[in-house]
Chains A and B, each alone.
Chain A
């Protein structure tokens, strides 16, 4: 699915990711764990093509190097970033945003855009599964949403857009146990042989609910250790100290 080769990323001339190699096959779920300041969020932004993140090396996605593609082109090709802190946008209504986004992706794929009725039927079906109140969809995007609502909205977008490669940046932050379960169920429901996940997290807690195939320890801009999900338990008990420096 995605093969990251010797990726180096700088922000304002400061190198933050220092030669990352990571290959994620179709259907696999990888978790990246690391202490604060290790460059985890930088990695998620660099994979999404955020401006100001100067990247070199290669990101081979579905057979092509996407390093020069901008953010929307990557999204249109099926890369999805679930934000740690989804942005509040006053005046832009959630329903309208979801439809614009879905149709932008459909258009890029050469598919017919959905009209208002088709869209509403689809969003109704998806939001019911995620226990999302339809009143939430008529509000401005993320404005006044609780932490749990914001994350559920991210999962709703994920299920509508049906991306192939999903990056989840600290999805568990700000969630109580019930919201965490809803979000995890949503993600688990989307696991498929054609879809891969990269889960970025501080804590092992989320990985109890979304069980990864591989766990990597990220420190000072590099992967310093890789293993299966048991590595996450080890980190929970021993901390990051032995991997740092």
Chain B
């Protein structure tokens, strides 16, 4: 991706594709120009310093875009509990629109995109995206069934790049739960970027779960921008399980009093997996609260990075910001990189941050073994127990069970 001439040709071909509507074309051209000016991320840029993308993207010398016309979806991937489905197959929305119970699900319809100066991959996404979904919840509606988003990457896809844009809007005093999961059918090389904007109006409440499952040769960039108005709440639980290379980035703006955001992430990695979290929470109004909680269990040569920032504006008095990251290093070669940041301009705030990393406690292992539990199982119990502290906070029992089951899947301790 560092050969700009090649990329320009690729973009020329891309923007002539049929599915690109004329309203979005100028925004795409502007975004592509911005990307060209900025170049691909490098380790020298502070914003991308800990990112696996800084190393990965040079391998994509020939981007190949493709649209899979086949809309079949294997039922075995569908969750058993009652829910609304959003199916994305190789980046194309294939499920039907939904309109009931104050809920509306359609194809992504936005045409104008913002820029974040240091973020050229967002520019790339803006230029090359395929429309994903839009979820809109009417005011005073509480959506009873959870919404499940399936990002299905099929073995029939013959490109190496997919980019999606999605949008979630909760109107005043509404409520929804969303569970999103990735399904990878093969080990082909793929660069996938996804941008999701979430807007929460006054008194609305969104809980979002995301399971990023085991994959190989996938470079993933998830970028979420969320804006919260007065009394609105967003709770997010991510489980990153053996993802080969991924950056999860969230920028949350708390723009109304009493708005609350809670971000939680499990990183359970082995082999050479590399997962990066970059969160920025902006307390822009009084009495806003935020919580960041990350737990990482790192086997083999895996690497996890966590950059969490709490920004407090001068008018955001009585802010309550909390951040904690803890990592279990399960091999001499695994790494945890942590960079907590606090930037505070108000004087009456409560902000705390903590970060620790260490190996498994041998006294605990001895205690379990002295009760007949073998060493491997004792370690597994310890790791599960360590990570389960995040899962235990989940209120939706179906999702909780899915996450618990996934915990058992790494056995090569």
Residues of A that sit less than 8 Å from B by CB: 48, 50-51, 70-72, 75-76, 80-81, 83, 86-87, 89-92, 96-97, 100-101, 104-105, 108, 140, 157, 161
Question: Can you sample 24 A-B contacts with CB below 8 Å?
Answer: A71-B366, A71-B369, A72-B372, A72-B378, A75-B370, A76-B372, A83-B367, A83-B370, A86-B367, A87-B364, A87-B367, A90-B385, A90-B386, A97-B368, A100-B377, A100-B381, A101-B372, A101-B373, A104-B373, A104-B374, A104-B377, A105-B372, A108-B372, A157-B371
Q: Which residues of A sit under 8 angstroms from B368, Cβ to Cβ?
A: 89, 92, 97, 101
Q: B375, A72: Cβ atoms under 8 Å?
A: yes
Tell me whether A89 and B382 are in contact in the complex, defined as CB-CB below 8 angstroms, given that A51-B366, A100-B377 are known contacts: yes
Q: A91, B374: Cβ atoms under 8 Å?
A: no
CA distance in complex: A220, B287 (Å) = 63
Q: How far is the CB of B390 from chain A (nearest CB, A)?
A: 10
Among candidates A50, A91, A101, residue contacting B371 with C-beta atoms closer than 8 Å: A101
Q: Which residues of A sit under 8 angstroms from B30, Cβ to Cβ?
A: none
How large, as a class, is the contact surface on chain B?
A: 20 to 34
Q: B372, A140: Cβ atoms under 8 Å?
A: no
CA distance in complex: A96, B388 (Å) = 13
Q: Which single residue of chain B is at the shortest CB-CB distance from A76? A: B372
Q: Report whether over half of chain B's contact residues are helix, strand or loop; otherwise say mixed.
A: helix
Q: A72, B384: Cβ atoms under 8 Å?
A: no
Say if the beta carbon of B185 comes within 8 Å of chain A. Answer: no
Q: Mark B374-410, 1 if CB is under 8 A from A, else 0.
A: 1101100110111111001000000000000000000
Q: Which single residue of chain A is at the shortest CB-CB distance from B389? A: A91
Q: Which residues of B sit under 8 angstroms from A140, Cβ to Cβ?
A: 385
- 3 nearest interchain CB pairs? A91-B385, A92-B385, A75-B372
Tell me whether A161 and B372 are in contact in the complex, defined as CB-CB below 8 angstroms, given that A92-B385, A97-B381 are known contacts: yes
Q: Which residues of A sit under 8 angstroms from B82, Cβ to Cβ?
A: none
Q: Which residues of B sit under 8 angstroms from A96, Cβ to Cβ?
A: 381
Say if the beta carbon of B363 comes within 8 Å of chain A. Answer: yes
Q: Which residues of B sit under 8 angstroms from A90, Cβ to Cβ?
A: 385-386, 389
Q: How far is the CB of B55 from chain A (nearest CB, A)?
A: 33
Tell me whether A100 and B373 are in contact in the complex, defined as CB-CB below 8 angstroms, given that A91-B384, A91-B388, A92-B381 are known contacts: yes
Besides A71-B369, A72-B370, 11 new A-B residue pairs in contact (Cβ under 8 A), listed by A number: A48-B366, A70-B369, A70-B375, A71-B366, A72-B378, A75-B371, A83-B367, A89-B364, A89-B367, A90-B389, A91-B387
Among candidates B369, B382, B392, residue contacting A72 with C-beta atoms closer than 8 Å: B369
Q: Which residues of A sit under 8 angstroms from B366, Cβ to Cβ?
A: 48, 50-51, 71, 87
Q: Which residues of A sit under 8 angstroms from B382, Cβ to Cβ?
A: 89, 91-92
Q: B386, A91: Cβ atoms under 8 Å?
A: yes
Q: How far is the CB of A94 from chain B (nearest CB, A)?
A: 11
Q: How far is the CB of B122 from chain A (nearest CB, A)?
A: 36
Q: Which single residue of chain B is at the shortest CB-CB distance from A45? A: B366
Q: A89, B385: Cβ atoms under 8 Å?
A: yes
Q: Which residues of A sit under 8 angstroms from B375, Cβ to Cβ?
A: 70, 72
CA distance in complex: A157, B372 (Å) = 11
Q: How far is the CB of A80 from chain B (nearest CB, A)?
A: 8
Q: A72, B385: Cβ atoms under 8 Å?
A: no
